[in-house]
Structure 1
Amino acid sequence: MSADQTDLWVFRDARKTVSRSSVLGSLHSTLGRLFADPQNREIYCKALIQAGELESALADSCSGSTETSAALTDALASVPFGGSLERAKRLAQVFDRLTVTDHLQISPSEGFSYYGLAPLDIAKPAQESVAPHRPAAVIGIRSIGTTLSAIAAAALLSAGNKAERITVRPDGGPYNRVLRFTDEQNDWIKRFKELSALFLVVDEGPGRSGSTFLSVGEALVSSGIPAEDIVLLGSWEPDPNSLCAQDAASRWRKFRFRAFSSNAWHRFRDYTYIGGGEWRKVFLSAKLSWPACWPQMERLKFLSQDGTQLLKFDGLGPIGDAVRQRARALAVAGFSCAVEDVGEGFSRYPVIDRSPLPSADVSEWNAQYCAFRSAEFRVEHCTPEPLAEMLRLNLHRDFEVEIDFDSELLSPQSMVVVDGRMNPHEWLRTAGGQLLKTDSATHGDDHLFPGPTDIAWDIAGAAVEWNLHPDALDFLLSRYRLLTGEDLRQRLPLFLLAYAVFRRHGGRVPPGSGVPLLPQAH
């Protein structure tokens, strides 16, 4: 069977419905800070990412204000290449008059949020992809391709190339994307074809199927562009034989592909890379059974030369800000270790001497930890993820079983940014006896399930990961109820099953995958 019939559902749709006032207000605030402090790279990067996400959302909704929004993204993108902020200032003054619906669907830029990419990472590879003075037609694949295309076009313009950009959103399932250009886009393509331009398609990825990049490349060929005039520019070099779209290998080899990578590798060149499961060699005894990991989904992590500091990519832009805010709150409350923002999406955590933590120690502490999260990390106006559908599909595909259950029991009573992963190896007891939970701020609101959900997910996680004895689980539930007044017993059994099934699948790598992206199969 094909991958779209066998792959399991672990990725969620991380798009968020956000009010017009919230989107524009947040961007205005960030731009105001940038105009007051134009040399601040962190504020600049946040403003650029927010502008790109707004432009992408407006383009997806076919808004008449997309062109104005794109002009702001372009104005910001030009700044690292000698452009002035004056144009961005003028555009910011008219944003209150934009024709924008009351609510927008904002899609996070995954590479900037989770995978260690920064907007400027694409600049030099884009310049190197196009011959001097040759015109370039840059096509960004939304969402992250919006910002990447703006930087690529600005970099090419600074190098003396004529360059313009458009953005597209291919349709269809994750294994069979298709793209149809609009009449206006076809006119733009024809104009650049007459200039003998190179067509540069930019995005992160490719993903597991490769079909998103392929859909754009093949649509250009259908519009009369020779394949040799097309370059696909993504964030990693795939093995074409591992891509699982139909006839992917032969289709992929028709195009030139060029990869760009995160600048973090250069920034932390004197550090030890401990991402992709390498941390197990450093922090866990070789005598113990190492926990499974999904290397390609792990955040970038580096260890200082003296072994005392861990540098981890927690995210750029609003996503990264929220992660560090949660990490600081947990540290202040005594549930996690200190965190320091060191720029470009990275956070610094101290490496703490640890001692073994028997399961008998965790129930009281875990009750307090979950009670804290339930009180402090609640979210409003958030659509819950379809946990029941995820559970049914994965049970059917992995075990060929179907069970009848009340879906309402997986509907959150209140929405919380949960921990998401209650793994024993992430719990530390310091020399002074303090219990700390590491890796506690990122997973509850990333691009994997469960997303913000009921705190019963974490209670179930503790029971599953620690294989708690029924008496210990009963104690945990009783203590949590005493601390919060909330009784989870009725809905916990289904959350136990959902957590166990997801964690089984969330760490499983599809055979032969170059990068195991298991797309949403809803």
Structure 2
Amino acid sequence: MSAAETDLWVFRNGRKSVAGLRLLNELHAALKQLLDSSASQIRERSLNVLIRAGELESALADAASPAASPLASLTDALAFTLLSGDLRSVTKLADSLSNLSLPQTIETSPPEGFSYYALHPLDFADAAMGLADPPRPAAVIGIRSIGTTLSAVVAATLRRTGCAAERITVRPTGHPYSRHTHPTSEQIRWIRKQKERGAIFLVVDEGPGRSGSSFLSVGEALIDAGVSVAELTLIGSQEPDLNLLCVDDAVRRWKAFHFLAAKSRISSRFSDHIFVGAGEWRRKLLPKDATWPACWPQMERVKFSSPDGTRLYKFEGLGSTVETVQQRSRLVDEAGFGCSVTDEGDGFSCYAVADAMPMTGKDTDLIVLERIAQYCAFRAAEFGTDGEPEPLAEMLRFNISREFQTDLNLNLDALQPSSAVVVDGHMQPHEWLRTSDGILLKTDASTHGDDHFFPGPTDIAWDLAGVAVEWDLHPDALEFLLARFSQLTGNDMRQRLPVFMLAYSVFRLAWCKMAMSTGIDSFEQFRVRTAYRGYRNLALEQMSRLGMRASAAPWELPTLA
């Protein structure tokens, strides 16, 4: 079976409807702050505004709004400011924003690389520099969404080296593993014009991701439009493993193109620190005799430890994303549940590392359960959020149908929260620390409730279900936890918790199953496979208690050599 037939649903769509006026006002405010900046503030603030402008330009282009063109001019000017520190072009364009007529509502989606995976626009500036010798005309095509911002940076870099660079953006459509790109008649004319002036063609986006089909669809559309493959380069953020790309005829199609991977600047910034991303934190932070929890290395946040081990640097998003995350972290710290945090620029937060030991499921007692109940009550009170919750019921039905070949005939209304909360999302025992004086602290508390994966903002029952599953709570212990939470909040979770426990277990088995298919090493494969079986067995038990029957035979990957 193909990946499209076996993949489970773990990633959030991320698209949301936002008032156009709100986005414009936020951009105005960020621009004003930039124009009032000192010389030392320009780089960080121009990066913030550039990401906002690129996101809005992309959304307006998707909506075929006439306002997309003036926004593109602003995005280009901001990219130049990021590279040069020169505000003159931005200053000239800032006032014209007031005259823009935007749609009442706009569909936006988070730029994943900027928000979650430590992709920096200047990485693409470095990549573009190698294409500018000798200077020649360049046609830059950004793949929306994030390719909008990245294409502006590539074009601005080339212009600074003397290249006559022009850019457009396109939106591939169709199934994620079989994208298609259909240039408009205006874009076809633009492509012909670029050919006539002898331009090189540069297709810019993050990735490639799981399939590579967005890159391939744009490259093949350009060839269909008469562009020579010798004049065409794809610029992305990582070299793909061609054998893992989930697209038809991946190896042959990908090898037809020249691909350039932008190199990250992060390693040079933290060259004297210890890398603890991609699961390496387990080696540094867990006891030597501890059983390592499963990890999906490619999807982990980039993290570094200071040489003396007293500080942890973690990528938490560029622009407004990191501001939101750090505010959550400060609230967790002020409430006594976390460690202090400072902003380190370029999307990184710095956390003080407590003198404490990670906990295990064997540490469960009434003091621990009381602390967890207090923490969940705190999150329910402090991290409420507006907006449309993610479709947890649809995720659950889809994944159960794929994994167990059965339909879920249950009432799932309980999964629709009456009030959505940015949950913690990672309530496993090792995410809790016990200090030498017995204080229990929660680590990694601010990103997972609103990141690339489910659940997104939802009912706090998700975290309580996570505790029940991950700590393997005895029924009496679970009853104590729920009773204390109810006393603290007035919210009785007993009726809705069973379906949340099922949703949590099914999501986690789906997460493990997806991780197993992404080229992780044999040791990690074993850990993830073991976790997958555990969550699957739990899901079967929970389904049985809810009156359902399903196949007990698990899906397996071939054993690795």
User: Partner residue of 1:200?
Assistant: 202
Q: Which runs of 5+ in 2 are unaligned?
A: 522-561
User: Partner residue of 1:11?
Assistant: 11
Q: In 2 relative to 1, CA 514–59 (structure 1 residues): closer, same or farther, beyond 3 Å?
A: farther
Q: In 2 relative to 1, CA 144–463 (structure 1 residues): closer, same or farther, beyond 3 Å?
A: same
- Deviation, 1:276, is 0.3
Farther off after superposition, 272-281 or 95-104: 95-104
When normalised by structure 1's length, the TM-score is: 0.96
Take 2:180 and 2:56, find their aligned partners in 1: how far apart are those partners? Answer: 24
Take 2:306 and 2:83, find their aligned partners in 1: how far apart are those partners? Answer: 32
Question: 2:373 pairs with 363, 367, 372, which one?
Answer: 367
Q: Does residue 52 in structure 1 map to residue 54 in structure 2?
A: yes
**3-state SS of paired residue (1:78):** helix
Take 1:477 and 1:27, find their aligned partners in 2: how far apart are those partners? Answer: 43
**3-state SS of paired residue (2:178):** coil
Q: In 2 relative to 1, CA 328–83 (structure 1 residues): closer, same or farther, beyond 3 Å?
A: closer
User: Partner residue of 2:108?
Assistant: 106
Farther off after superposition, 224-233 or 129-138: 129-138
Take 1:452 and 1:14, find their aligned partners in 2: how far apart are those partners? Answer: 11
- Deviation, 1:429, is 1.0
User: Partner residue of 1:31?
Assistant: 31
Q: Does residue 135 in structure 1 map to residue 140 in structure 2?
A: no
**3-state SS of paired residue (2:47):** helix
What pairs up with 1:464-475 in 2 under 5 angstroms? 464-475=469-480
Q: Does residue 227 in structure 1 map to residue 233 in structure 2?
A: no
- Deviation, 1:287, is 2.0
**3-state SS of paired residue (1:70):** helix
Aligned residues: 515
Q: Does residue 122 in structure 1 map to residue 124 in structure 2?
A: yes
What is the one-letter code of the residue matched to 2:104?
D
Deviations 1:239-288 (A, max 9, x none): 21221100011000000001013211110011111100111111112322
Deviations 1:204-229 (A, max 9, x none): 10011110100000000000011121
Take 2:30 and 2:492, find their aligned partners in 1: how far apart are those partners? Answer: 41
Deviations 1:134-182 (A, max 9, x none): 2110011111111100000000000111101101110001000000001
Take 2:52 and 2:95, find their aligned partners in 1: how far apart are those partners? Answer: 16
Q: In 2 relative to 1, CA 241–151 (structure 1 residues): closer, same or farther, beyond 3 Å?
A: same
Relative contact order, higher structure (CA 8 A, sep 6+): 1
Q: Is the 8 A contact 1:130 1:198 kept in 2?
A: no
Question: 1:447 pairs with 445, 452, 468, which one?
Answer: 452
Q: Is the 8 A contact 2:358 2:430 kept in 1?
A: no
Farther off after superposition, 17-26 or 163-172: 17-26
Deviations 1:318-374 (A, max 9, x none): 111111110111011111111111111001112222235411142111111111111
Q: In 2 relative to 1, CA 31–282 (structure 1 residues): closer, same or farther, beyond 3 Å?
A: same
Q: Is the 8 A contact 1:138 1:200 kept in 2?
A: yes
User: Partner residue of 2:305?
Assistant: 303
Take 2:129 and 2:286, find their aligned partners in 1: how far apart are those partners? Answer: 43
Deviations 1:384-421 (A, max 9, x none): 11111111111122222322111211101111100011
Deviations 1:288-337 (A, max 9, x none): 22100110000000111111111110111111111111011101111111
What is the one-letter code of the residue matched to 1:411?
Q
Take 2:152 and 2:520, find their aligned partners in 1: how far apart are those partners? Answer: 27
Q: Does residue 494 in structure 1 map to residue 496 in structure 2?
A: no
Q: Which runs of 5+ in 1 are unaligned?
A: 517-522
- Deviation, 1:515, is 8.3
Farther off after superposition, 441-450 or 30-39: 30-39
User: Partner residue of 2:328?
Assistant: 326
User: Partner residue of 1:520?
Assistant: none
**3-state SS of paired residue (1:495):** helix
- Deviation, 1:83, is 6.7
Q: Is the 8 A contact 1:149 1:202 kept in 2?
A: yes
Q: Does residue 391 in structure 1 map to residue 396 in structure 2?
A: yes
Take 1:8 and 1:130, find their aligned partners in 2: how far apart are those partners? Answer: 42
**3-state SS of paired residue (1:93):** helix
**3-state SS of paired residue (2:378):** helix
What pairs up with 1:106-185 in 2 under 5 angstroms? 106-185=108-187
Q: Is the 8 A contact 2:7 2:514 kept in 1?
A: no
What pairs up with 1:385-464 in 2 under 5 angstroms? 385-464=390-469
User: Partner residue of 2:524?
Assistant: none
**3-state SS of paired residue (2:69):** helix
- Deviation, 1:130, is 4.3
What is the one-letter code of the residue matched to 1:314?
E
Question: 2:338 pairs with 336, 341, 360, which one?
Answer: 336
Q: Is the 8 A contact 1:208 1:515 kept in 2?
A: no
When normalised by structure 2's length, the TM-score is: 0.89
Q: Is the 8 A contact 1:316 1:344 kept in 2?
A: yes
